[in-house]
Amino acid sequence: MAKPSRRRRGVTTIEDVARAAGVSAMTVSRVINRGKNVRESTRAAVLEAIEQLNYSPNTAARSLAAGQATHIGLLYANPSAAYLAQFLIGALHAARSAGVHLVIESCESEDADEQAEVTRRFASSDVEGVVLPPPLSESQPIMAELDAMGIPAVTVAMGSPREDSLNVRIDDHAAAMEMTRHLLDLGHRKIGFIKGHPNHIASHDRYRGFCDALAEAGLDADKAPAEQGYFSYRSGLTAGERLLARADRPTAIFASNDDMAAATISVAHRMGLVVPDDVSIVGFDDTALATSVWPELTTVKQPISAMAEAALELLIADLRSRGGGAPRKFTERVLSHAMIIRESSGPPAGAKKVKKARALRNA
Amino acid sequence: MAKPSRRRRGVTTIEDVARAAGVSAMTVSRVINRGKNVRESTRAAVLEAIEQLNYSPNTAARSLAAGQATHIGLLYANPSAAYLAQFLIGALHAARSAGVHLVIESCESEDADEQAEVTRRFASSDVEGVVLPPPLSESQPIMAELDAMGIPAVTVAMGSPREDSLNVRIDDHAAAMEMTRHLLDLGHRKIGFIKGHPNHIASHDRYRGFCDALAEAGLDADKAPAEQGYFSYRSGLTAGERLLARADRPTAIFASNDDMAAATISVAHRMGLVVPDDVSIVGFDDTALATSVWPELTTVKQPISAMAEAALELLIADLRSRGGGAPRKFTERVLSHAMIIRESSGPPAGAKKVKKARALRNA
DNA sequence: ATTTTCTGTGTTACCGCTAACAACGAGGGC
DNA sequence: GCCCTCGTTGTTAGCGGTAACACAGAAAAT
């Protein structure tokens, strides 16, 4: 028998692959990593061996030997639970592929000092980089503190990132335009808007997208009724009431997120209005709430998991490149959104025939 | 200068601790791990050195050397997003402390074959143990498949676990009794109940708790109106309508989860009833929905994060003990819940004076 | 033709920690 | 007193990778 090794039962190691491919372990390592300075034929042989043996490198050994990043921080603050869950799933996925541990910490406080304090705690726990999903991606104190400590960060869904920082987002402006066009296409001309929290750059992008789509259709965006909201359900109640109480009640309302859209639906019901027959109401984000209300919300879906994955990839690539001195390749990534048409949007009351015609056409 | 080592800048290693404590690295390792066979005075010295140097072991090196579990699987299926988020946070926390990677995979299908398929995929990706949050904790096919592959699992929130399996839960029966007592204390005597999905053992526990509390108060539990629900918002609408349409309308309704409670509130509003003045409505779980409705829900909060942490601890302890041959110490852990009293519950209509009296007393 | 630079590959020495075993002194039974 | 056991500690040899360097042969420069 072979030496009484401590090796675990039949796990294939880089050594096995090397033997199978007739090269040294180092060459296999090179193929797996940078892949530079390896002859094409050798690479092919190694890749084939890897495939054959179904080999996957041991992340523990890898990070130990390379002394690479092993812990990525994730600082979050009460986004919706649905958002967080999606985000975590994506982040975990990316973390696993990279062989990195995710260290997650919450930071609910909006106080600058406390945010800095939480941030500092990260530094002392060996975190090599930090991911900031919204709303923390907009937090000036946190970014400043991370900068001061030399810890790189990647922000997610931040409207106007600084030139030199890493950022992942969707095109809020384009998405809002698309949603507005959807309402226009249905025949709506009096469309109300509920703005998001003014601190979030995305809020402004969405509102601009709304206005631009109206302008594109030859309507006067300034005349469109817009109420200030703050992304919360409660703020949606107030804003929704104002819009629906107007003498020239809009036939459609575009809320900057699902919570406020859901609140508006509830207001409409209380006023005896039928959605979408009397008023169409659409949201943004496609959170769980979107399907927990009746009728279910037409909304915009962000690829949250994919965004989290992209964020980690960006960050890890950056971390690895720091040693190599090579400048980072990307500092921003824009992922694509999707329109989710459900039951809360439909043609305005005067256009029943259009609805029928469409239904027939689609059938 | 010292040798040109690849060692990363100032990270303290076990070697540093050993030097500071005047012992060998192995002894430090023993203190950190099993702690067996170390003289008390030595242990103290080592612990002091660890404290002083703020040392924390390198998890990569640890799992590499020990060949210990490095990947724990987490299989989930569409619980509420809020539940999942909380659960992931707890699981991540525990995973980090244990130096283990969390591999998460979703399994939405209810088809036995597909569930087995997904489960098998886990095995081929080096997962050493699996955590099953609800509703998958009740899935027979998955448990069977894991058993067949010899992969240990820990179930969470499962009502009647098998004797030999690991399980973490709260006492649903006690929690339901407590909630029912809350309603009884407020003065309610006609209390309706909306049952949970019959496949979930927890549903039965909750219903039994409800019945037992009624019996305890000298009421006939069989006469209490109970409707079947399935944990979904939609099923809550139907059940709520039935209960509220009864000639002898209950003055309080206890729904087996928040989604159904929220649905019942919406039904009540549509019928022009005021909550909690005309009817008190309480839920279970304390999901985000509980505070997204008006009035906010009185409900039972499960320590979801803590349950996830406990689950991982249990599983990892089990995994480690398998080598040692020592029998596992615990196979079940019951964590404690908390009652969250909000605005959706209050005294019945006939008891306004009581309400006032209470308010005064509390003031 | 000779020297220099690459290019592709193998060798060696670790990364930080722990299993296995060896070593050593202190009791205990004969 | 001797041998044996037991509890406590140190030593050695890896775990599975990769950085750094060595080294041969090919291409480029002299």
Q: Which residue of A has its CA nearest to B82?
A: A81
Asked whether the beta carbons of B174 and B206 are under 8 A apart, the reply is no
Mean pLDDT of A92-119: 86
Scanning B253-272 for CB atoms below 8 A from A yields: 259, 262, 269-270
A273 touches chain B (CB under 8 A): no
In the predicted model, what is the mean pLDDT of residues A1-17? Answer: 69
Omega before residue A276 within 30° of 0, cis: yes
Looking at residue A10, its pLDDT comes to 65
Supply the pTM of this predicted model. Answer: 0.79
Contacts of A60 in chain B (CB under 8 A): 59-61, 63-64, 70
Among B7, B60, B92, select the one facing A104 at the smallest CB separation.
B92
- Asked if the Cβ of residue A47 lies within 7 A of any atom of strand C, the reply is no
Question: Average pLDDT in the A306-311 region?
Answer: 93
State whether residue B102 sits within 8 Å of chain A by CB.
Answer: yes
Confidence band of A3 (pLDDT split at 50, 70, 90): very low
Residue B353: its pLDDT value, please? 47
CA at B47, C1' at D25: how many angstroms apart? Answer: 57
3-state secondary structure at position A191: strand
Q: Nearest chain B Cα to A100, which residue? A: B101
CB contact under 8 A, A7 and B85: no
What is the enclosing helix (H) or strand (E) of B212? helix B201-216
A208 CB-contact burial (10 Å; exposed 0-12 / middle 13-18 / buried 19+): middle
Q: pLDDT band at residue A148, thresholds of 50, 70 and 90? A: confident
Straight-line distance from CA A47 to C1' C10, in Å?
Answer: 19
Identify the pLDDT of residue A146.
87
Chain A residues with CB under 8 Å of B4 CB are none
The pLDDT of residue B327: 52
Q: CB of residue B5 closer than 7 A to nucleic acid strand C? A: yes
CA distances from B156 to B136, B146, B159 (A): 9, 16, 9
**pLDDT mean for each 10 residues of chain B (363 residues):** 55 90 91 84 90 89 82 83 86 88 85 85 81 85 85 80 78 96 96 92 93 96 95 92 96 95 92 92 88 89 92 86 56 91 91 48 43
pLDDT digits (tens, 9 = 90+) for A187-225: 999 999 999 999 888 899 999 999 999 999 999 999 999
- Cα–Cα distance for residue pair B21/B39, rounded to 1 Å: 13
Residue B7 touches partner A, C-beta closer than 8 Å: yes
* Residues within 7 Å (Cβ) of strand D: A 3, 5-8, 11, 13-15, 25-26, 28-29, 32-33, 55, 57-58, 61-62, 64-66; B 4, 6, 23-27, 30, 37-39, 41-42, 61, 64-65, 67
Q: In what order do the strands lie in the sheet with B226-227?
A: B226-227, B191-194, B252-255, B280-282
Q: Shortest CA–C1' contact from B39: which nucleotide?
A: D8
Chain A positions touching B294 (Cβ under 8 A) are 237
